[in-house]
A and B are shown apart, each in its own frame.
Chain A
Amino acid sequence: MATIAAVAPPGANSAADITDKALVGEGLTKVFGGFAAVKDVNLSVRRGSIHALIGPNGAGKTTCFNLLTKTLTPTRGRILLDGEDISRMRTSDVARRGLVRSFQISAIFPHLTVLENVRVALQSSFGTGYQFWRSLRAVAPLNQRAEELLEQVGIQDNRDSPAAALSYGKKRALEIATTLALEPRVMLLDEPTAGMGHEDIEPITELIKRVAVGRTVLLVEHNLSVVSTLCDRITVLQHGEVLAEGSYQEVSNDQRVVEAYMGGIDE
């Protein structure tokens, strides 16, 4: 397994090097009826890295994540994807530019088969999504790619079962396969291990590591052991502001972070 950190060229910390940043949030602020859930957050995700967003409950992680995924519109601030300002774009347009999110609750299509779930995503760039007059033979060329993706996440044996019948862990895997179908340059994962038992956490962590090769990943994660094994860089939020940023080592030795976490996180 390739180590992602090695991909980063020397001098990666130079602020002027914009092309090195896959995703940047500048001065992000989100106000909900007078209450600032996120305040002037600056965040940059280095290309090819796995970056985690952590913090105690109510810190603003989900809000921050939703701003970056364009689910929410920022009150102030800008979001740059590969240097392009995407602050005012629709979610669907951003997805076509290579920024694709997953959801905290497994976002699958329960009444479609596993293969169909992935095929819907493949149709996005194939351009058949509005062809109501053609038979499904029109999308048969996508089946092979869909099967490859299912194989990549290890659920090819469930190809024809309804997605609703999958186990929790396999639903997550299916969601990742569906996300990969868009060949995203940047993947945003919202608590990928939320609600999982021990037996599911490890395979999903491995899977994320595997599919992250050659991509940029930003994830919100509660489970600190997952963060420590998976992530190159960590941003800690508290009260809507960035408290600390750095490697797992740096962050976990930071006194303010330790204090913030006292009785804070449900690990």
Chain B
Amino acid sequence: MRLPLLAAVVAVAILLVAPFYFYSVTLMTIMCFVVFACSFNLLLGYSGLLCFGHAMFFGGAAYITGHLLKTTPMSLELAILCGGIFSGLLGLLIGVLSIRRQGIQFAMITLAFSQFVYFIFLQSSFTGGEDGMQAIPRNALFGLFDVSDNAVFYYVVLAVTLVCVFVYYRIVHSPYGEVLKAVRDNQPRVESLGFNPERVKLLAFVLSATMAGIAGGMKATVYQFATLTDASWPISAEVILMTLLGGLGTLTGPIFGAGIIIMLNDYLAGFGEWALISQGVILLVVIVFFRRGFVGEFDALTRYLRGRRAEAAVTKPENSVQAL
């Protein structure tokens, strides 16, 4: 169990020096989507709930955070937090109305709500409609520290991301996380054991929406603008793609998935439609050949290799089968 810890330390060390080698805005974008994809994996990967409208939490919080920063002297971290709380409350409202539905019905209801939310943002004056919300200031952190320079702001985004990833890890490996995975595996059984599975799922939905909101609020402060795109269906689809690509229900899957997709988008940006076409191709390849995603396939491979080694070492074949 020391290996994952070592990997985490190495990853943080790399992230600390990364802006000296890579364009910091790309890195910050990746981190925003890492948090967003983690929130989505919490839902689909660990609760079995497929939300087709997750962008409403992302984009909605971007507007709220941006609006607060523009119109109040609120400090930066509080504005991001308020974006998260807004999305959490929106998640609670939509969750209460839809959590009883399962499978594709739940997906379609969340899609319908997200279209509705999109329409509201389109019509509202505070969002700037089609023009988007421009010139969002980066108010001082804790009301004290100037973070307007990207070289400094990068570390704020890194800190928020690390906190969010830790919270995500904590939820998955908590007493509640155990019950949540049980609901995903067999909901009627969980109910027969005395739990209210709908309440368990509702909590997951609210937690996920909150985290998606933090991601959206963070993105609004990185780009210093918020647009309708952030709350639109393509973003909902992109986070699904990231999660599937990285590996559904794997802890680090969304981190890799978000990184790969954002870098690919960045790289292919100059090629116009090619970005979209390549996303489609990747999705197809993943669904057909690598159903467990990047991290899932990697885990399966290491387990397979370890299993073979164990099989060679242990005389009783039964044991190695169980280890798999």
Contacts and interface: CB of A to CB of B under 8 A. Distances in A.
Interface in B176-226: 176-179, 181-182, 184-186, 188-196, 199-200, 203, 207
A136 interface: yes
Given A112-B185, A161-B322, A133 B192 contact: no
A3 interface: no
Interface stretch (B72-80, B167-175, B262-270, B277-285): B167-175
B173 A135 contact: yes
Interface in A71-125: 71, 90-93, 95-96, 100-101, 103, 107-112, 116-117, 119-121, 123-125
Given A96-B194, A103-B188, A109 B182 contact: yes
B185 A101 contact: no
Contacts of A181: 193
B135 interface: no
B10 interface: no
A134 B174 CA distance: 6
Contacts of A100: 192-193
Contacts of A93: 194
Contact of B192 (A95, A108, A116): A95
A194 interface: no
Contact of B175 (A92, A111, A138): A138
A109 B189 contact: yes
Nearest to B203: A130
A124 B185 contact: no
Nearest to B207: A132
B324 A165 contact: yes
Contacts of B192: 69, 91-92, 95, 100-101, 103, 107
Contact of B190 (A111, A120, A136): A120
Contacts of A107: 186, 188-189, 192
A182 B178 contact: no
Contact of B191 (A91, A110, A131, A165): A91
Task: Please classify how large the interface on chain B is, using the bins under 10, 10 to 19, 20 to 34, 35 or more.
Answer: 20 to 34
A110 B48 CA distance: 14
A30 B315 CA distance: 57
Contacts of B196: 90, 92
A144 interface: no
A201 B39 CA distance: 45
Nearest to B169: A135
Given A109-B182, A129-B200, A95 B193 contact: yes
Contact of B185 (A103, A110, A131, A165): A110
B177 to A, nearest CB: 7
A133 B186 contact: no
B187 to A, nearest CB: 10
A125 B323 CA distance: 31
Interface string B301-320: 00000000000000000000
A130 to B, nearest CB: 5
Given A110-B185, A131-B175, A133-B170, A178 B203 contact: no
Interface string A131-169: 111111011000000000000000000100100010000
Contacts of B186: 107-110
Given A112-B181, A112-B185, A133 B194 contact: no
15 contacts: A92-B191, A95-B194, A101-B192, A107-B186, A109-B181, A109-B185, A109-B189, A110-B185, A112-B185, A119-B178, A129-B179, A130-B199, A130-B203, A131-B176, A165-B324
Closest 3 CB pairs of A and B: A95-B194, A128-B175, A132-B176
Interface of B: 170-171, 173-179, 181-182, 184-186, 188-196, 199-200, 203, 207, 249, 321-324
Given A92-B195, A132-B176, 13 more contacts: A92-B193, A92-B194, A92-B196, A95-B192, A107-B188, A116-B178, A120-B179, A123-B179, A124-B195, A130-B199, A135-B174, A136-B174, A161-B322
